[in-house]
Amino acid sequence: MKTVIFDLDGTLADTSGDLIAAANHCFRDMGEGDVLDPGADAGTALRGGRAMLRAGLTRLGRAEMEPTIDHYYPLLLDAYGAAIDVHTQIYPRAMEAVERLKTGGYGVGICTNKPERLADVLLQKLGVRDAFASLVGADTLPVRKPDPEPLHEAVRRAGGAPGRSVLIGDSDTDRNTARAAQVPCVLVTFGPAGGDMAALEPEGLLADYADLPQMVDRLLA
């Protein structure tokens, strides 16, 4: 079976607002107030909790950041899990594209660097978990993207063959994962980092999910 695997944060859904809120919860606990801005720092948010903490601590001029990041990262995950879908929205026409792909005979799954439990909770709350045959998170395997094995596992769990798949993403991590797996990569241009996607030279650039099924047909012909 040909398979389409999606990244989650910044690809299927804009999760940046809830991620920023969780990071700012940590900064408030440090006595610093809200250090990150939901708009200006959205791209950083989609690179994960540690990236947000590191960016905020750098802005504050904090030295020896790594022990602080190690301490606050579990607190950030707890805060995020407690309010995971307050601001998050699935991108327009994303789920319509998923259903069209499934109707066309493709398997669909998710490969994300979000912890699997949190990814599952979010997809359940958004009402779309059952649309995806597989879900592989950052901690599902001993390795995470850009190692190709999580992508391969997501394909296998969706009933597909790793060599007949395409990865839909929004970052250099996704581009490098697809390259390591030797499969095509489509990067979305409507997320916070969209302006940088062309420079990564993916096999496809996606401005509207309505165009995805036809693009996948071409790449996996």
- pLDDT for 8 beyond 70: yes
- Model confidence band, residue 18 (pLDDT cutoffs 50, 70, 90): very high
CA nearest neighbour of 178 among 116, 111, 129, 119: 111
What are φ and ψ of residue 184, in 5° steps?
-65, 155
Query: Which distant-in-sequence residues (6+ apart) come within 8 Å of 207 by Cβ?
Result: 188, 189, 190
Helix 49-60 to helix 65-82 angle (10° resolution) is 130
User: H helices within 8-83, ranges in order?
Assistant: 16-29, 42-45, 49-60, 65-82
CA nearest neighbour of 113 among 88, 97, 135: 135
CA nearest neighbour of 133 among 179, 181, 98: 98
- pLDDT for 113 beyond 90: yes
Task: Classify 64 in phi/psi space as left (phi over 0), alpha (psi -120 to 50) or beta.
Answer: left
The CA distance from 25 to 157, in Å, is 36
89-112: pLDDT as tens digits:
999 999 999 999 999 999 999 999
Most distant CA pair in the chain, distance? 55
Q: Quick check: bond before 146 cis, omega within 30? A: yes
**Which pTM does this prediction carry?**
0.94
| Among 7, 14, 41, 170, the one annotated catalytic | 7
Q: Stretch 61-88: mean pLDDT, rounded? A: 94
148-184: pLDDT as tens digits:
999 999 999 999 999 999 999 999 999 999 999 999 9
Hey, which residues does 107 pair with through a beta bridge? Answer: 3
The CA distance from 41 to 121, in Å, is 24
Q: What is the mean pLDDT of the chain?
A: 95
170 is catalytic: no
Q: What is the reported pLDDT for 59?
A: 95
Q: What is the reported pLDDT for 195?
A: 72
Strand 204-206 with 165-169, pairing: unpaired
42-68: pLDDT as tens digits:
989 988 899 999 999 999 998 788 999
Quick one: CA torsion of 68, 147, 10, 122, rounded to 10 degrees?
-80
The CA distance from 206 to 215, in Å, is 9
